[in-house]
Structure 1
Amino acid sequence: MDKPDKNFTSQREQQLAKIRHFCAYRDRCHAEVRSKLLEMKVYGDELEEMMAELITDGFLNEERYARSYVRGKFRINGWGRNKIIPALKLKKIHSSLIKQALNEIDEDEYLEHIKQVIDKKYASMTDGSGYEKRQKLIRFAMLKGFELDIIEQLIDEISD
């Protein structure tokens, strides 16, 4: 009777070590870790205990994840707020954490980035009327996740 408990414990220890490594590799959200644990066939109370242990030990932190995600998607991928927000919601991050994480983006840096994106696209455009160019610029910048009012303001500055 003692032996199965020992195997269970060692199996749990192995699973915990594996999921800790998974979390240590890069920041993860709760949904990713929960999915990975389910993939490892960890269910019910055991899953919840492991999640709680990961949170307690600092391997799992939704706020840290959201901040890191926002920084990465903005600085590395060049995404705007309107593209970052749904991506975080898809990962089941709470709205208040998303709002906090978006503060990682400096407003001046954000506006400068949008301006650079629009300037670069505008310089590469060769044909079309002023109206067509404007519409293409708006569409392009919105696909990057930038806000329409900011885009229009910056395009007006370029056009003048």
Structure 2
Amino acid sequence: MEYYCAYQERCYKEVEEKLYSYKISPSEKEQILIYLIENNFINEERFAQSFVRGKHNYKFWGKNRIINELKFRNISSKIIEIALKEIPETIYLENFHAIAEKNWENSTERKGQKKNKKFVDFLLRKGYETSLIYDKLNELDN
């Protein structure tokens, strides 16, 4: 389990699920989890920060999707708030504009409602804020 946690940042829930797959007793599972936390193999804040950086820098996810994915992994709101500070606002906006413009240019649809809907849906799936999306849509659609 040390190797599993050292290989890649893991959250408590992921490690717990892995231990469950080994079909060990609850007391053994608890002892292993306590050991991993005490020896800093599991650190929720470090996991969240790494997750935020990775998903934004490589998959270009927006804050909404990142928040939802972290909540799904039972990360506390306080830790999520701290982790989101890993993305500087200027870089966040630069990435948003780059991905939005690329999607707009690569769309095979002609101008109109269908193209606008696909554009908005794509950026919503990526997890960007609706106000950002509609501002960008108005800028590109004119």
Q: Is the pair's TM-score, using the shorter chain for normalization, greater than 0.5?
A: yes
Whether contact under 8 Å (2:111, 2:141) holds in the other structure is: no
Helix, strand or coil at the partner of 2:59: coil
Structure 2 counterpart of 1:96? 78
User: What is the one-letter code of the residue matched to 2:125?
Assistant: L
Separation of aligned partners in 2, 1:111 and 1:139: 18
Structure 2 counterpart of 1:139? 121
**Structure ranking higher on relative contact order (CA contacts 8 Å, 6+ apart):** 2
For residues 1-80 of structure 1, what are the structure 2 equivalents within 5 Å? Answer: 19-80=1-62
Helix, strand or coil at the partner of 1:93: coil
Helix, strand or coil at the partner of 1:41: coil
Structure 1 length-normalised TM: 0.81
User: What is the one-letter code of the residue matched to 1:120?
Assistant: K
Helix, strand or coil at the partner of 1:76: helix
> Which structure has the larger Rg over C-alpha atoms?
1
Structure 2: tracts of 5 or more residues without a match: none
Q: Deviations over 1:103-156 (max 9, x none)?
A: 111111111111111111111234433444332221111111111101111222
User: What is the one-letter code of the residue matched to 2:4?
Assistant: F
Identity of aligned residues (%): 38
Separation of aligned partners in 2, 1:116 and 1:153: 14
Structure 1: tracts of 5 or more residues without a match: 1-18
Whether contact under 8 Å (2:6, 2:41) holds in the other structure is: yes
Query: Which 4+ residue blocks in structure 1 deviate beyond 3 angstroms?
Result: 129-132
Structure 2 length-normalised TM: 0.90
Seen in structure 2, the aligned counterparts of structure 1 residues 141 and 42 have a Cα distance that, compared at 3 Å, is same
User: What is the one-letter code of the residue matched to 2:29?
Assistant: L
Q: How many residues align?
A: 142
